[in-house]
Structures are given as structure tokens and as C-alpha cells.
Structure 1
């Protein structure tokens, strides 16, 4: 029976929640302080219908804080421009896409937040009702580990081979590679690899926060369609409701549709070129200082980083100083690469 454990790393400017499935990261939830409350998954809002597009059965809503969201409606429930609705945020906004909401009823007044989204601890316990949320140093180590795995592209399969997961504008592509798997029965070998790949892909898609159309390029030919469909249904069951799994096609691919809810981890942490954003580097710097301060007691610390990272980290450093005291300095170093920093005992 699978076991899920829950961890919450509380940091300066950013909290991270992790679900471990049988000891491996399954979900990484990242909550940054600068995300408007109205933009968080599960927030309940009073929204004004700004524009109705009957041809697309969609309406654009003003949800406050300068934010918009998209509401899909049935013909018999078409809203009217200017109407106030009570809605719940179903999916967070992502690159090029608005957040989506579901209508709960009518409302009045102006667009505003009615009820905040569940916090990270509440979100975590939804994945393991009986689980205890662990915080502290262990949670930070596990969150760091989860972050590293979530940002990787190629992932090893137990027993040999690997899968590569890459997101495009249209879909998520997953390639299964047999690698150095050994065995005399090629058909059995490929069947085992494909079943293992489906289980690994399901966990990693949840970890990476990816969804939408997913195409898995299976290895080999003459697939056992029944066994693979059973394996896929089991692997992706935690993503329900809303998962749709297509049969293995004649070209050896399996297509799935997986509901999107939160933002992808890469979108939160990385820029369009796949590099850590300045904010991500600044938050990592502050976490590193905080961790070293905990490890070394009352020692004074010094950190060096690129000038623009030092500038961005300043408000976070002030908040950290309020927790551990003014016993660290951050020195801008023009020679330091933007994505690197050093923290040491002074």
C-alpha cells in the first residue's frame, strides 16, 4: 500500500509544501508572498462580468486587484455583462492563459476577495487526510530535493532506461527509452519498461505541476493494450476527477488529458530561457543564509552574490534579520555569476 508523507518548509518570501509518495517527491506546492490572494487556487471571489463571448461560451471576469479570469458557461446559464457573480478559482493563471473560475451564485458590490484560498498546510492535508505535516530542517531538505527533481528533464527508470518529459506550447511530450535494460524476452522487457514509465510519468507530472494534453511515446511494438490501459488508470487515478486516457495508437503512443490546476513549477522558478529568475535566486540566497544561521548558532555570516540579486534580496534580508538578528551581511560582487552565491562564516 502506498504511503504519503507531508512536509512544509516555511521560508522568507516563499513557502514550499511537499508530498512524498513512498519516499519520493510527488507534489511540490510553492506559495510566494507576492502572489495576490485573488490569484490563489481555491480563492472565493466576487467578480464582475466584463465581457461575454457567446461563440466560445465564455465570459471574461474582473476579479479585483487588476486581475481577470475566464468563466465557461452553458447556454442556459449565460451571464450578462456587468453582472456580479460569486466564483471560485479553479485553475491559476499561467503563461498566456487566464485563471479559470466556476460560478457559485450571484453577488453584489465590487470585485473583491470573499474568502482566502486554503493555506499550504490545508492543501497538503487534502492529499493525505491522516498525515502529519512535518516542518523544520527536514522539510527544507526534502523541498530542495523535490525542486531539483521537478526541474530535471530526463529521469531514470528503475531497472534501466529513462523517460524524458518536455513541455511545449501545445502539449507535454514524454519519451520512453529502454536504455540498458537486459533480458532475453524483448516483448516482456518492453512491457515492463512501459508500465514502469507510466507510473513514473504520473508521479513526475504531479510533481512538475504539468497537465493538459500529454502524449507518451512508448517503447517497442505490439503493445499489450489492456495491461497498459490498466497501468495508466492506476497511475493517474490521483489526478481525478477529469482524467481522460486514450488507447495506444498504431504509432505506439498513448494520449491523455490531465486537469491543470496550479502553475507549473518551471513557470514559477524559471524564466523563458529556462534559467532561474532573479527572484528565485534571491529567495534561494535567503534560505541558504537562514539554514547556515541555524546550523552555526550565533556565528556571523557573510554572503556574496551578483549586485542585482543583492538588491532584490534586500527586503527579504530585512525580514530575516528580524528573525535571527543582524548577524549576516550580503555583499554585491560584480564578478559573481547571476545565478550563483556564496554563504560562509565571517
Structure 2
């Protein structure tokens, strides 16, 4: 299958959209603020901080972020390690929320202190995920609308996606769809595509409209299983419950796009709003070449930019020249003055 990646590197983040043929299937995001975060596929030197027999594994300090878990299970060549020892590991699963990364053993320690041994860029991680990718450098604007809670189902009806700490809840509304079955089929296709697109995983509960016939329920489950085969993640789908709910799980190797962009209430974080403001400044400055630009931002964004976890002014100056200023205002807007 031919895959291509549209990738955009801006001040503060790198965005990537993966297409299979003409279909957008995945979104990936790297934030500059996460530059010390252990990424999937990277090699790190860690130090054993605890041996936990109750979970059958070791807690490993990596020198950045929460401690990672190195399980005894499936580690054939794992040496007998003691607290304080150093060891090289590969990140098999990135930290998600409060849970640290999942690790697998590689070799004896190659560094004197915990830290990254082999870092991987977003392009390099995508190359490992998919072979023979074709890259195109271009704007990736879909992130601004990629985490909407409510989406229309083609043919009628809608779905609402709620991200909670325990699970992903999806409600299906029949709306103007002709039949319950038509709505359910359309919803199933949309839900599975959205889970992959956003990188959502864990336990997912889907409340479909009332499908009374067992044959229809079985048909829908088979259809979902067939669609799940095209997803690189591991997916398990349970039959309809007595209350008409379908439970499923989807493997997750890192935080979702929703979790990276939004807070737990689904609203953009201050960092997201600040990086969007910088993106808007750069876009407007390129349109009005040579003009002096003023980026006006509200109080939360102003505070974040003043105390940002990375230097954004130098790279922005390198891109635009010393022709922009940032001022405190009531909202985010960009003005150009020749």
C-alpha cells in the first residue's frame, strides 16, 4: 500500500499527516516542550530504582519523566539486576497520562548516567512504523479541528466522543439517518477511523442505537472486526451487551492527539493556544513580506510565552527577521504594518 506523509515543521512543534492512498489515516505531533521525553523506539540508559515482585518487573529511572516499567515477562536475556544498576532499554510504549513508559531490555549500560542513547525524530519514528514512506513538506492545518467532540455520520446521524480518565465513551445519535442499521454501520466506520486518526486507545464503550435483531448485531460486529484489520494497533471487540453497548480495546503506544492538544475537558491547553498563535504569526508574516508584525495575545498565552519551556524567539527571528513584536491584548490576533 502506498503511503505518504505531509509534514510541517513550525516554531514549537512538528505536525505530520499520514495518508494511505488518498485517505487520511493518522496524525502525529511532536512538541518542542517534550524534547526530553522518551519516545517509542528510542534507546535510553536507565537505572533500577525498585524491584516490584507484585507486578513482576523493575522500575527504571530514565533521567527524564516518570519511571519506566521493565517487565520480567518476555525478557529472555534479562540479567539479574539489582537496585542502583544501570541498563540500556528500548522504549516500547511512551508515557501516557500518569503512567510511565513500558521498556524492554537491550544491553548493558552505555552511559554513566541515565539519559537518551539514541534519539529519534518524528520522521525517523514514522519510517520505522511504515516502510517506504513518501514525504511532502506542506502545511498541516487539520489539527485545529481534529479533536472535535461531535462529528456527523455520512448519510445522517452523529457521534459524540468523550475522553475520560477511565475510558473513551462514544454515543451514537440516529438523527436523520434512514434506518438504525444504516446509522450504526456509518457510525462504526467513522468511530474506527477516528480512533486511529487521533491515536485514541484503551477501553472504548460505544452506545449504538437500539439494534433489536441479533443478526444485525452480529453483522455489525463482523464489520467492525474487518475494519479493525487495517489498523496497525491491536484491537479486540466484544459482542453487544444486554444494554446495547459495544465494548472494545485498542492498543496505544503513546498519548493521543486529543491528550496532547486539549485539557481533560476537551478545551485547548494554553500551550496549544500559544503555539497556534506563533503559527498564525508566521503564516501572516509570510503573506505580508517585509511588514512589521504585531502578535496580540491574551493574558494566559502571554504568561506562557514569557516563560516558555523552550526558546521560540530566536528561531522565529531566524524565520521572519527582527520584524515582529508580541503585546498583551484581549484576544489572539496578528496585525501587519508597512
Query: If the TM-score is normalised by the length of the shorter chain, which range does it land in?
Result: 0.7 to 0.9
State the Cα deviation string for residues 120-148 of structure 1 (Å, max 9, x = none): 22344456544421113xxx2xx322331
Q: Which residue of 1 aligns with 2:312?
A: 316
Q: Which residue of 1 aligns with 2:73?
A: 74
Question: Residues 114-263 of structure 1 correspond to what in structure 2 (within 5 A)?
Answer: 114-117=117-120, 119-125=121-127, 129-136=131-138, 140=139, 143-149=140-146, 151-182=147-178, 189-221=179-211, 222-223=213-214, 224-240=216-232, 242-263=234-255
Structure 1 stretches lacking a partner, 5+ long: 183-188
1:100 paired with 2:90, answer no
- The answer to whether the 8 Å contact 1:244/1:257 transfers is yes
d(CA) in 2 for partners of 1:164, 1:21? 25
Q: Which residue of 2 aligns with 1:344?
A: 335
Structure 2 stretches lacking a partner, 5+ long: none
Q: Which residue of 2 aligns with 1:305?
A: 297
Q: Which residue of 2 aligns with 1:84?
A: 86
* 1:9 aligned counterpart, secondary structure: strand
- The answer to whether the 8 Å contact 2:47/2:85 transfers is yes
- The answer to whether the 8 Å contact 2:37/2:65 transfers is no
Report the TM-score, using the length of structure 1 for normalisation: 0.85
d(CA) in 1 for partners of 2:54, 2:18? 41
* 1:276 aligned counterpart, secondary structure: coil
d(CA) in 1 for partners of 2:125, 2:230? 14
Q: How far is the alpha carbon of 1:288 from its aligned partner?
A: 0.6
d(CA) in 2 for partners of 1:73, 1:266? 32
Number of residue pairs the alignment of both structures matches: 327
Q: Which residue of 2 aligns with 1:17?
A: 16
Q: How far is the alpha carbon of 1:217 from its aligned partner?
A: 1.5
CA RMSD of the aligned region, Å?
2.5
* 1:203 aligned counterpart, secondary structure: helix
Q: How far is the alpha carbon of 1:309 from its aligned partner?
A: 2.3
- The answer to whether the 8 Å contact 1:286/1:317 transfers is no
| Of 50-59 and 286-295, the range deviating more from structure 2 | 50-59
* 1:320 aligned counterpart, secondary structure: helix
Give the structure with the higher percent helix: 1
d(CA) in 2 for partners of 1:217, 1:326? 54
Q: Which residue of 1 aligns with 2:113?
A: 110
- Counterpart among 316, 322, 327 of residue 326 in structure 1: 322
Q: Which residue of 2 aligns with 1:40?
A: 39
